[in-house]
C-alpha cells in the first residue's frame, strides 16, 4: 500500500468512527434515536441481555465496531514513512481506547457490574490491539493488509449482528425504529476501506517512460 492510499484509508477510518456516533436507529422521538455507543449502553441494561449466554453479548457486539476502528487506526499508522505521523496516530488510537474505560465506581463498589466489567475488558483489548499493531510494523505489507481486513470484517459482522439483536429487544417493547444513517455509513465506509486495502496497486511509471503494457506490445510487434 502506498502512502497516498494510506491517507485515503486513514480518512475512511475517521469518517467510519464518526458514523459510529451518528444515529444507528432513528425514531420519531429523540429518546429512541441512538448511536452505536449509546445503543450498547441501553442494551446493557436489558435483563435479557444480562442473562443471555454468553452474558452481555448484544452490548459486546455493538461495541466491537469501535474497537475495530481503534485497531485499524493503529494498523494504518504503520504504512506512513514519517515516524512522527506513526506515533501521533498510535497516540490517537490509545486515546480513543479511553472511551471504554469504566467509571471510577468500577474500582470501588461496582466490580461485579457486568457492563463496567465488559468496558474494562474492551479497554484492555484496545490497548493490546495498539501494542500489537506497533509490533507488526516489520510485517510485510500483505500481512498487515490481511490483519487490517480481518479487523474491518469483524467490525462489520459484529455491528450488523448486534444491531439485529437490539432490534428484537426494541420490537419486544413495540418501539418501531428505522435503521439510521450512522449504521449505513459505518458499513459502507468499512466496505470501501476493505476495497482500498486489497485493491492491487498499479505500477507507476516515470514521466517520459512508456507504461509496461505498451512496452510489451511494442516488443511483441517487433518480434513479428
- Do the Cβ atoms of 158 and 58 come closer than 8 Å? no
* Per-residue cell: 14: 475517521
Q: Is the dihedral of CA 52, 53, 56, 61 positive or negative?
A: negative
pLDDT of 216 reads: 47
Q: How far is CA 107 from CA 39, 119, 120, 147, 172, in A?
A: 24, 13, 10, 34, 34
The pLDDT assigned to 130 comes to 97
Q: pTM of the prediction?
A: 0.85
Which of these, 32, 13, 5, lies nearest to 177 by C-alpha position?
32
- Domain positions in the chain are 3-223
CA 192 – CA 177 distance, rounded (Å): 27
The tens digit of pLDDT for each residue in 202-217 reads 554 444 444 444 444 4
Work out the pLDDT band at 201, boundaries 50, 70, 90. Answer: low
Q: Cα-flanking dihedrals φ and ψ of residue 178, to 5°?
A: -120, 155
Burial of 23 (C-beta count, 10 Å sphere; 0-12/13-18/19+) = buried
Per residue in 95-129, pLDDT tens?
Answer: 999 999 999 988 888 888 899 999 999 999 999 99
Beta-sheet strands, E only, within the chain: 23-26, 34-35, 178-179
Apex CA 17: angle with CA 11 and CA 58, to 5°?
150
pLDDT at 2 over 90: no
Q: What is the pLDDT of residues 69-100, one digit of tens each?
A: 999 999 999 999 999 999 999 999 999 999 99
E strands along 89-199, which residues? 178-179
- Residue 219, pLDDT > 60, answer no
Considering only CA atoms, which of 30, 51, 3 is closest in space to residue 169? 51
- Which of 182, 191, 190 shows the shortest CA–CA distance to 37? 182
Q: Is the pLDDT of residue 12 over 60?
A: yes
Fill in the DSSP letter of residue 178: E
Amino acid at each position: 500500500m502506498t502512502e497516498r492510499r494510506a491517507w485515503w484509508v486513514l480518512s475512511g477510518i475517521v469518517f467510519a468512527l464518526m458514523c459510529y456516533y451518528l444515529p444507528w436507529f432513528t425514531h420519531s422521538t429523540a429518546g429512541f434515536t441512538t448511536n452505536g455507543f449509546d445503543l450498547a449502553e441501553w442494551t446493557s441494561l436489558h435483563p435479557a441481555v444480562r442473562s443471555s449466554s454468553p452474558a452481555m453479548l448484544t452490548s459486546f457486539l455493538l461495541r466491537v465496531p469501535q474497537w475495530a476502528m481503534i485497531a485499524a487506526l493503529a494498523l494504518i499508522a504503520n504504512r506512513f514513512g514519517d515516524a512522527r505521523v506513526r506515533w501521533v496516530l498510535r497516540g490517537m488510537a490509545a486515546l480513543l481506547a479511553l472511551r471504554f474505560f469504566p467509571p471510577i465506581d468500577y474500582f470501588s463498589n461496582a466490580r461485579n457490574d457486568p457492563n463496567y466489567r465488559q468496558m474494562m475488558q474492551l479497554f484492555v483489548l484496545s490497548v493490546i490491539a495498539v501494542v500489537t499493531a506497533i509490533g507488526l510494523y516489520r510485517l510485510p505489507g500483505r500481512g498487515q493488509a490481511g490483519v487490517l481486513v480481518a479487523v474491518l470484517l469483524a467490525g462489520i459482522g459484529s455491528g450488523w449482528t448486534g444491531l439485529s439483536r437490539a432490534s428484537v429487544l426494541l420490537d419486544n417493547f413495540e418501539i418501531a425504529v428505522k435503521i439510521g444513517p450512522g449504521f449505513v455509513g459505518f458499513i459502507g465506509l468499512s466496505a470501501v476501506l476493505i476495497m482500498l486495502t486489497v485493491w492491487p496497486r498499479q505500477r507507476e511509471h516515470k514521466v517520459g517512460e512508456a507504461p509496461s503494457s505498451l512496452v510489451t506490445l511494442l516488443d511483441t510487434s517487433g518480434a513479428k
